[in-house]
Amino acid sequence: LPTDPGLARHLVTSLVEDGFDPAFSLRLTVDHGITHGLQHLLPALDVPIVPIVINMFAPPLPSLRRCHELGAALGRAVAEDGGAKRVAVVASGGLSHRLPWPKWFEALSDDDRFLVEAWLNGRGSWGDYEVRRRQIIRAAEADINPAFDEGFLKLVEEGDLGPVLDRTTADIDAEAGNGAQEIRSWIAMLAALGPGARGETLAYAAIPQWLTGMGVAVVEPPTTKEIA
């Protein structure tokens, strides 16, 4: 994928100056969380990107409020870049879903121990683990909460994430599943666009075959007049 190393370095430096501690990689391998959206938005894959990865998977997770603060800092960094760029902020993940991941520090069943082993040691030989991993996922029952999803999308449309920012990881897990922790990327994206940014839900469907509540929204940054 084409990238923008100059912008990436600026973002890392700016985040450090803003009180964050990002890591960076010169050889990051990205997964479907980044590639699926890009292949629909940019079929030719000809626009440079800066992949940003937020931990939504391995506890302890950053708080929702911290992700909002991170997004706001990213927005400031992009605005201060000084380059004549048009920048789109794309978020992926969620909405409600529960995947059969183990509790990483309490892997009790054979499947749990297998998944922990796959994630710890499978980076260089993922194919050796993929068949059984897919079998475990396909055997899982869908756990989708459309009410949670629609409520969150409503907050995105209104540009007001205040009601969700103080919710805990355990709270989100109980109501919407472990996969709903991925709303952190939505929260960071909306914060990056600045106060007053409001969204429009383009589509939503609860898809049991995918185990997931699937939503698509577009968010416009506020105009100069709205900011004033």
Enumerate the active-site residues. 32, 97
CA–CA separation, 182 and 29 (whole Å): 19
**Nearest Cα residue to 213 out of 158, 150, 157, 156:** 150
Residue 79's φ and ψ, nearest 5 degrees, are -65, -30
| CA distance to 100, 130, 132, 177, per residue, from 214 (Å) | 18, 24, 25, 14
Helices 183-192, 64-79: crossing angle, 10 deg rounding:
40
CA–CA separation, 227 and 79 (whole Å): 14
Give the gyration radius of the chain's Cα atoms: 18
CA–CA separation, 181 and 59 (whole Å): 11
CA–CA separation, 35 and 32 (whole Å): 5
| CA distance to 6, 57, 132, 206, 226, per residue, from 135 (Å) | 42, 20, 5, 21, 50
